[in-house]
């Protein structure tokens, strides 16, 4: 099933609630919450207090992407503040397995992310331990970047490896996804689609409705 996860990093924070409502009117499955610590990535975004407010505002699944060094330090705090999915970066921890297990122990879905130049083979030891694998399609740290074409084959490779292992684990893509390349990433095997600028710029409700309708037709099998 295809799922749309708009990234609020691209929203106007002076009217965040209003813009999230517009997204929900158009349709979405999750909200993507990009946490950046200025260490693992060269940018700082937002954290626990903002998540706690967003949690009070929406019933949608909160898909928290921790671009944070040593994320195990914060897993419980983000779950306590409302995260439904917590994704950690393999490159940010010495023990991704215990981080994933800590998330699942709290009854939440665990995601494992890799940066564009990290080989998907590094995810194979975690098959069965994660509910979602995130393939970054831009260097993490900023919204509004251009999709990195080298990632298309990575999505295909990971979907192939999962299929061989008899798994249909979610593959999330994140960064530079637009109306022009959305079919490419879906056809490659991604099924959870993060979009910041493509949703939050211009006609927010219309953008969300466009992608929701596109995903509905894919999900119904009308588009192969
Ligand atoms: C980048 C973030 C992405 C980004 C997506 O580090 O993880 O979620 O906000 O924004 P767009 O869709 O504008 O590239
Ligand atoms: Zn993200």
Quick one: CATH architecture of 3-219? Alpha-Beta Barrel (3.20)
In the chain, what is the greatest distance between 2 CA atoms, to the nearest angstrom?
Answer: 47
List all residues whose CB is within 6 A of at least one atom of ligand 1: 7, 9-10, 32, 34, 65, 67, 138, 140-145, 174-177, 194-198
Residues in the chain: 224
pLDDT of residue 60 exceeding 60:
yes
Is residue 207's pLDDT more than 80? yes
pTM to 2 decimal places: 0.97
Mean pLDDT of the chain: 97
- Distance from CA of residue 96 to its chain's centroid? 17
Atom of ligand 1 nearest to the CA of 200: 13
Residue 106 has pLDDT above 90, yes or no: yes
Radius of gyration of the chain (CA): 16
CA–centroid distance, residue 190 to ligand 1 (Å): 16
How much is the average pLDDT of 183-202? 98
| 220 exposure class (CB count in 10 Å sphere: 0-12, 13-18, 19+) | exposed
Q: What local confidence, expressed as pLDDT, does residue 121 receive?
A: 98
Active site residues: 34, 174
The 3 state secondary structure assigned to 41-64 is CCCECCCHHHHHHHHHHCCCEEEE
Domain ranges of the chain: 3-219
Strands 170-174 and 132-136: parallel
Q: Helix, strand, or coil here: 6? A: strand
> pLDDT value at position 221?
80
Q: Which of 6, 7, 64 to mutate to test the pocket of ligand 1 (most atoms within 8 A of CB)?
A: 7
CB 89, CB 59: distance < 8 Å: no
Is the pLDDT score of 222 beyond 70?
A: no
DSSP states of 97-143: HHHHHHHHHTT-EEEEEE-TTS-GGGGGGGTTT-SEEEEESS-TT-S
Q: What's the rounded Cα separation, in Å, for the pair 224 and 219?
A: 10
| Statement: residue 223 has pLDDT above 70 | no
Q: How would you classify residue 110: left for phi > 0, otherwise alpha for psi between -120 and 50, otherwise beta?
A: beta
């Amino acid at each position: 099933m295809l799922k749309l996860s708009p990234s609020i990093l691209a929203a106007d924070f002076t009217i965040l609630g209003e813009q999230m409502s517009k997204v929900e009117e158009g349709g979405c499955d999750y909200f993507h919450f990009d946490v950046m610590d200025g260490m693992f990535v060269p940018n700082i975004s937002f954290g626990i207090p903002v998540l706690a407010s967003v949690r009070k505002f929406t019933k949608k699944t909160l898909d928290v992407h921790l671009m944070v060094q040593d994320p195990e330090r914060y897993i419980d705090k983000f779950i306590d503040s409302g995260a439904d999915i917590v994704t950690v970066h393999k490159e940010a921890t010495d023990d991704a397995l215990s981080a994933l297990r800590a998330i699942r122990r709290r009854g939440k879905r665990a995601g494992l992310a890799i940066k564009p130049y990290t080989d998907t083979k590094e995810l194979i030891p975690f098959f069965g331990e994660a509910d979602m694998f995130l393939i970054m399609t831009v260097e993490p740290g900023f919204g509004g970047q251009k999709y990195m074409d080298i990632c298309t084959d990575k999505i295909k490779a990971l979907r192939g490896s999962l299929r061989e292992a008899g798994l249909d684990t979610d593959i999330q893509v994140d960064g530079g996804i637009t109306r022009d390349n959305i079919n490419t990433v879906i056809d490659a095997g991604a099924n959870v689609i993060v979009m910041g600028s493509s949703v939050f710029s211009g006609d927010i409700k219309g953008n969300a409705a466009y992608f929701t309708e596109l995903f509905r037709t894919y999900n119904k099998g009308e588009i192969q």
